[in-house]
């Protein structure tokens, strides 16, 4: 069978897609890059906002219109929150809810009686990440969340916390490493909740990955700024654990954080950053901020702007609040007028850009091991990649060698107009 897989939304959806890709390939099915030529299409939907739901529905319609004969399987948060509606969408043959995702390939194979041809599997490596131009693998380690932030629908869509056994995660990482992948991202819904149901924690998992794999670079996906176990920062003593953390703050105002039912208030967040930065001078922290949460006063907004300035984030993802049906926040009074939201988002974007500039400037003149992730199209002499603390670099090198997927020492000598770091190879190999 020719199988096409698509994921919308978060890294967890992407990680699940990677696992299904490998499982279909292991059964001897071939993977195709578009839906047009496929016999079977699997879509991993998103429902984090009403807009995400609209996009999920739009994609399903588009895929069916482009290839009405293909079997269409739908999974993900959209179908888990609203199992009935998708079955009414044209062309949908099967719905697999989030709680059954781990068995999706098995369920699909049984339902459509797919032929099993494992012998063919070894002939093609098209399913391999590198073959698809990817140098970083997302590894799902955990699912679900026990918290109830008032704006969040994910906790309903993904259910209670559950963690994959460390042995399974280590085996998957070793398989990727054998294929040439040099960097993995451990990802989950509530990564800090890893092991909560078995008395272990995210630090135990990271220790297992460091001990039982030789993968050169390990990143952590988005991490709620609480539930970080003791000794967490000492894990970063090894250069294999990347000093970048995405710690969603959402707001800098404690009164607003209370209305969001967030577990971390500004003081705890401040202390977390101080501890992290004293342990890791290169630590780069990025975050999420919701603009225009119901009832957000001018004063609360000022508190957010002042606190963001104090935190000095390397990057800020700005989300303009939109009520998500099914969340507590959707029913809260005093919506912030759209023009006010736009004005606040613009002001925060300006601040974010200034803080990012300051972060980039601190890296000029320094040298970092950069994982090269391809060659910039059209220019041929620039190779993009990321520093360990997740700052994008464009390496200038006229070499004829293929530098893709290599970890190279790069010296930073400036900032490009597009906001990336400008680098060159200090060694004679690529020299300025
Ligand atoms: S901790 Fe994260 S996933 Fe859990 S409810 Fe809050 S925002 Fe949602």
Q: Is the CB of 256 under 6 A from ligand 1?
A: no
> What does the pLDDT look like over 108-155, one tens digit per residue?
999 999 877 666 655 555 557 887 788 999 999 999 999 999 999 999
CA of 223 to the centre of ligand 1 (A): 10
Rama region for 76: left / alpha / beta (φ>0; ψ in -120 to 50; rest):
left
**Protein residue with least CA distance to atom 2, ligand 1:** 190
Rounded to two decimals, what is the model's pTM?
0.93
Q: Is the CB of 290 under 6 A from ligand 1?
A: no
Q: Is the CB of 249 under 6 A from ligand 1?
A: no
CA of 268 to the centre of ligand 1 (A): 17
Pocket test for ligand 1, best of 46, 147, 153, 188 (most atoms within 8 A of CB): 147
What percentage of the chain carries pLDDT values higher than 90? 83
Pairwise CA distance, residues 139 & 185, whole Å: 6
**Protein residue with least CA distance to atom 8, ligand 1:** 152
Give the tokens for residue 401: 């060698």
**For the chain, which domains are there?**
2-120 (3.40.50.12160), 134-361 (3.80.30.20), 367-424 (2.40.50.140)
Give the tokens for residue 122: 């070894």
10-35 average pLDDT score:
91
Q: What is the pLDDT of residue 407?
A: 97
- pLDDT band of residue 230 (cuts 50, 70, 90) is confident
CA of 135 to the centre of ligand 1 (A): 28
**Protein residue with least CA distance to atom 1, ligand 1:** 147
Q: Is the CB of 223 under 6 A from ligand 1?
A: no
Cα 268 off chain centre by: 24
Give the tokens for residue 104: 């999706």
Scored b (16 or more CB within 10 A) or e, 62-95 reads ebbeebeebbbbbbbbbbbbeeeebeebebbbbb
> What does the pLDDT look like over 136-146, one tens digit per residue?
999 999 999 99
> What does the pLDDT look like over 3-20, one tens digit per residue?
999 999 999 999 999 999
In contact, 259 and 332? CB cutoff 8 Å: yes
pLDDT above 90 for 399: no
CA of 155 to the centre of ligand 1 (A): 6
In contact, 241 and 208? CB cutoff 8 Å: no
User: CB under 8 Å to 124, separation ≥6 — which residues?
Assistant: 25, 30
Q: Is the CB of 147 under 6 A from ligand 1?
A: yes
Q: Are strands 71-76 and 40-45 parallel, antiparallel or unpaired?
A: parallel
Q: Is the CB of 262 under 6 A from ligand 1?
A: no
From residue 98, how far is each of 82, 138, 152, 197, 376 by CA, in Å? 11, 18, 16, 19, 37
């Amino acid at each position: 069978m020719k199988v096409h897989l698509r994921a919308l939304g978060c890294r967890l959806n992407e990680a699940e897609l990677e696992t299904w890709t490998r499982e279909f390939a292991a059964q001897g099915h071939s993977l195709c890059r578009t839906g047009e030529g496929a016999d079977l299409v699997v879509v991993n939907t998103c429902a984090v906002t009403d807009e995400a739901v609209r996009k999920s529905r739009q994609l399903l319609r588009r895929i069916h219109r482009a290839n009405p004969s293909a079997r269409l399987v739908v999974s993900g948060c959209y179908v888990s929150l609203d199992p009935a509606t998708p079955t009414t969408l044209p062309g949908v043959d099967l719905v697999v809810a989030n709680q059954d995702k781990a068995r999706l390939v098995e369920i699909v194979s049984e339902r459509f009686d797919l032929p099993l041809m494992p012998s063919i599997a070894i002939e093609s490596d098209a399913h391999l990440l590198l073959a698809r131009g990817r140098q970083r693998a997302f590894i799902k380690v955990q699912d679900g969340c026990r918290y109830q932030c008032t704006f969040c629908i994910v906790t309903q869509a993904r259910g209670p916390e559950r963690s994959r056994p460390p042995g399974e995660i280590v085996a998957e990482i070793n398989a990727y490493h054998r294929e040439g992948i040099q960097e993995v991202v451990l990802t989950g819904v509530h990564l800090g909740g890893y092991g909560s149901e078995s008395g272990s924690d995210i630090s135990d998992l990271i220790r297992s990955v460091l001990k039982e794999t030789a993968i050169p670079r390990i990143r952590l996906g988005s991490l709620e700024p609480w539930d970080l176990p003791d000794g967490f920062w000492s894990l970063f003593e090894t250069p294999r654990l990347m000093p970048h953390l995405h710690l969603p703050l959402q707001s800098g105002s404690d009164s607003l954080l209370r209305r969001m039912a967030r577990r971390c208030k500004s003081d705890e967040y401040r202390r977390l950053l101080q501890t992290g930065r004293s342990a890791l001078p290169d630590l780069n922290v990025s975050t999420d901020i919701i603009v225009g949460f119901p009832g957000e006063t001018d004063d609360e907004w000022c508190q957010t702007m002042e606190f963001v300035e104090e935190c000095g984030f390397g990057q800020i993802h700005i989300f303009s609040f939109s009520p998500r049906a099914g969340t507590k926040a959707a029913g809260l009074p005093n919506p912030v007028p759209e023009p006010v939201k736009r004005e606040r988002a613009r002001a925060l974007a300006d601040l974010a850009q200034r803080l990012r500039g300051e972060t980039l400037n601190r890296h000029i003149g320094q040298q970092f091991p950069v994982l090269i992730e391809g060659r910039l199209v059209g220019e041929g002499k620039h190779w993009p990649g990321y520093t360990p603390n997740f700052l994008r670099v464009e390496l200038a090198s006229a070499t004829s060698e293929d530098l893709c997927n290599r970890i190279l020492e790069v010296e930073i000598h400036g900032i490009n107009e597009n906001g990336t770091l400008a680098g060159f190879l200090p060694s004679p190999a690529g020299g300025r």
